Amino acid sequence: MPNPNPALLPSPALFDVTTVPQAAVEGTIERVALDHLELAPNPRRQISQDSISSLAGLLMRTGQLIPCIGHRPDARERAVLLYDGQRRLLAARASHELAGTDQFEGLAPVQSLIVLLLDHAPTPDEVRRIQAQANQREELSLVDQQRQFADCWQARAGLLEDERIAAVCADLGYSAKKAHNLRRQLTLPNTIRERVAERPGGGQISIGMANRLADMHEVAPKLTEAVATRITTTELHDKALRDLGGFVHRTIVEDERTYAVRIDDGALLDAAEHVERARAHLTPAEREQLASILGCEPDKLDRELDTLTARAKTKALKIQITAETRDRARAGRFAFVHERGRDFADGIWVVNPVFTIDLVRDQLAYRQDDGVAREEAFFAGAGLDDDELRAAAQEDRARKNAQRLRQAEATSSNLGLGHDLRAGLIDPTPGQLHALKAIICHLLAKHYRDVIAYGAGWTDQERQQPIGDTGRHEPRQVDAILDAELQRALKDPDPLRGTAQLAASWAASFVLDADGITRTKTLGTERMAHKLADAVPGGPNPLRAAIWEFLRPMLSPRLAALHRDEFVFDEPFETTVELAAHRAASDLADLDLGENDQDPVAA
């Protein structure tokens, strides 16, 4: 065995862990006030203020998990010199400024730290080893950080997006920027996400590139995979970062399996060619969607597409891309949009083949002759040949033709809006669901102000106030009840539950027990009777049936029995037997007893 390097041989350890532990550790653990802590010189000079703020939040929320290491130079004094715990001490001091501020509400500042006090003053070599080991703590790899973030993100489900991000940052000690980056990375497929690195090399992908791919993946998953697959070297990675639009265009040219059609303003596309190209990339789900748009059965879709292609060829149809076409593709999320800055038009690639085929269908259905109509008969019959008259006629024809074209464009735009709405509602985003909740809740609050206050005021004690010394409680003011109910519904992180809460307060007004309600007050039975009748007319109707279906599982047996007849209307038994005729008075004279029939044998 070669002679070992003396510098690499074990030095006397402060806390030896190579043998069985002895009864006591060389030191004591104490809780030391911040005012008595002082930092020893440390090689770490550059410290992120964001990381100090995050660590301060962790200390205030979860406490200190790992003791610092220090020494009390003078046993008669309380002062302690810290050799390990630099960031923890800075974070503890920063907590006094952060506590109670934004994202640190309800937290108390750190007053002390737990310190392992050495039983002797460490030598310079020992100090270096302490600080070297403290500074060698390895952070989680980016893949592990993604998994950790995903677990914590799932655990915080049910919160609004901003509140959820803030909670995860508090749990993991991440900055908001890092949390948003990890959130976007989690939307990528595993094959792409595993290639993300903070310092990419070879076929790896930087965090900035991953964020751009995540944005692309929201509307164009297949295009995203094709672009990511093409990034195989550092050079290609840098090209994609510099000019993503150009990189996407080159990717489409090289990969025929990826469907993407660039639509520049004013461009002309051959309709028949693009129908055939689009149909080759239709997925089973898109074929069903397209069959619904064309109004045919899925098994007859190919025949419809053949007819569409033939018509486009017969008319030699060219689709002219307009600003309205580009806006439809962008707003409906049918295209990937590459923003090129204020001075250049955005690059837009349609990635949904259904959009392209539907565009051709619209053009065929509403295409009109672009030529200016000839109306020379009047002037020829009159024998007029005046330049001003001809110019006026030409101007009038041009105006009428422009009016027809504008009407056709507006009709196509309106029908396109309907298509975009149907497509957008297939998978609404969380933001759309919360917006839908707000629309429904505000409409209910606007049109049924008193009804909601009536239902909530008599069913929720939080919406009531005491009446003098009588011990009774009655509803608060109508506006106060309505505002509280509306805010509770809007703040609920679950859009469906929030809407249901306000709807339940409205519906509850129809199943209250009148014996427990005053008669003449603002929210009394007499004043509310006509408002309830206006809101939901009596007798069998779909709205009453829906209210009963919604409330019945939540009603007590007593209330259910009390109000059943107001909502459930038993239909009369239907029969094909003519009961009136069978139940009418009868006479023996009317009966045919066969007395007049002659027996043929007797005859």
- What is the full DSSP assignment across 277-333? HHHTT--HHHHHHHHHHHTS-GGGHHHHHHHHHHHHHHTT-EEEP-HHHHHHHHHTT
- Provide the CA 546 distance to its chain's centre, in angstroms: 29
| 412 and 485 fall within a common domain | no
Residue 525 lies in a domain: yes
Residue 1 lies in a domain: no
| 397 and 479 fall within a common domain | no
* Cα 510 from Cα 208, distance rounded (Å): 56
| 411 and 466 fall within a common domain | no
Cα angle at 126 between 125 and 130, to 5 degrees?
120
DSSP state of 196: B
Task: State the residue range of the domain holding 62.
Answer: 27-135
* Cα 360 from Cα 34, distance rounded (Å): 73
pLDDT computed for residue 581 by the predictor: 52
| Cα–Cα nearest to 404, from 362, 364, 371 | 371
| 421 and 494 fall within a common domain | no
**In this structure, which amino acid lies at residue 130?**
I
pLDDT computed for residue 423 by the predictor: 67
**Considering 254, 275, 304, which residue would you say is the last residue of a domain?**
254
pLDDT computed for residue 247 by the predictor: 92
> % helix / strand / coil in the chain, to the nearest 5?
55, 10, 35
CA atoms within 13 A on the CB side of 84: 22
* pLDDT tens for each residue of 427-459: 788 888 999 999 999 999 999 999 999 999 999
Q: Is the pLDDT of residue 109 over 70?
A: yes
Q: Is the pLDDT of residue 591 over 80?
A: no
**In this structure, which amino acid lies at residue 144?**
D
| 273 and 409 fall within a common domain | yes
550 φ, ψ to 5°? -75, -45
| 198 and 326 fall within a common domain | no
* pLDDT tens for each residue of 262-294: 999 888 999 999 999 999 999 999 999 899 888
Q: Is the pLDDT of residue 313 over 80?
A: yes
For the chain, the domain total comes to: 4
Residue 576 lies in a domain: no
| 557 and 526 fall within a common domain | yes
| 404 and 465 fall within a common domain | no
pLDDT computed for residue 356 by the predictor: 93
SS3 of residue 114 by DSSP: strand
| 297 and 246 fall within a common domain | no
* Cα 407 from Cα 395, distance rounded (Å): 18
* pLDDT tens for each residue of 204-229: 999 999 999 999 999 999 999 999 99
Residue 588 lies in a domain: no
Cα angle at 191 between 187 and 192, to 5 degrees?
55
* pLDDT tens for each residue of 35-93: 999 998 877 777 878 888 888 988 998 888 889 999 999 988 999 999 998 889 999 99
Q: Specify the pairing of strand 112-118 against strand 68-71.
A: parallel
172-198 mean pLDDT: 89
Residue 292 lies in a domain: yes
**Rg of the chain on CA atoms, in Å:** 39
**Considering 89, 120, 135, which residue would you say is the last residue of a domain?**
135
pLDDT computed for residue 58 by the predictor: 87
Residue 16's pLDDT band, with cuts at 50, 70 and 90, is low
What burial class does residue 581 get, using C-beta atoms within 10 Å of its C-beta: 0-12 exposed, 13-18 middle, 19+ buried?
exposed
Do 360 and 308 contact (CB within 8 A), yes or no?
yes
Question: Domain of 85: which CATH number?
Answer: 3.90.1530.10
pLDDT computed for residue 370 by the predictor: 43
**Considering 93, 111, 135, which residue would you say is the last residue of a domain?**
135
309-327 mean pLDDT: 89
* Cα 459 from Cα 316, distance rounded (Å): 69
87-103 mean pLDDT: 90
* Cα 84 from Cα 39, distance rounded (Å): 9
Pull the structure tokens for residue 343: 């001075």
Residue 20 lies in a domain: no
Residue 42 lies in a domain: yes
Residue 4 lies in a domain: no
Q: Specify the pairing of strand 268-270 against strand 68-71.
A: unpaired
pLDDT computed for residue 389 by the predictor: 66
| 273 and 395 fall within a common domain | yes
pLDDT computed for residue 575 by the predictor: 47
pLDDT computed for residue 384 by the predictor: 45
| 412 and 495 fall within a common domain | no
324-338 mean pLDDT: 89
Do 193 and 228 contact (CB within 8 A), yes or no?
no
Q: Is the pLDDT of residue 2 over 80?
A: no
| Cα–Cα nearest to 497, from 424, 429, 434, 452 | 434
* pLDDT tens for each residue of 366-408: 664 443 334 444 444 444 456 666 777 778 778 877 887 777 7
Q: How many C-beta neighbours within 10 Å does residue 599 have?
A: 6
Task: Please tell me the least confidently modeled range out of 108-122, 409-423, 544-558, 566-580.
Answer: 566-580
pLDDT computed for residue 217 by the predictor: 93
Mean pLDDT (the chain, rounded): 83
* pLDDT tens for each residue of 449-492: 999 999 999 999 898 888 877 778 889 999 999 999 999 999 99
* Cα 245 from Cα 28, distance rounded (Å): 63
| 302 and 402 fall within a common domain | yes
What burial class does residue 211 get, using C-beta atoms within 10 Å of its C-beta: 0-12 exposed, 13-18 middle, 19+ buried?
middle
Top pLDDT among 424 and 190 is at 190
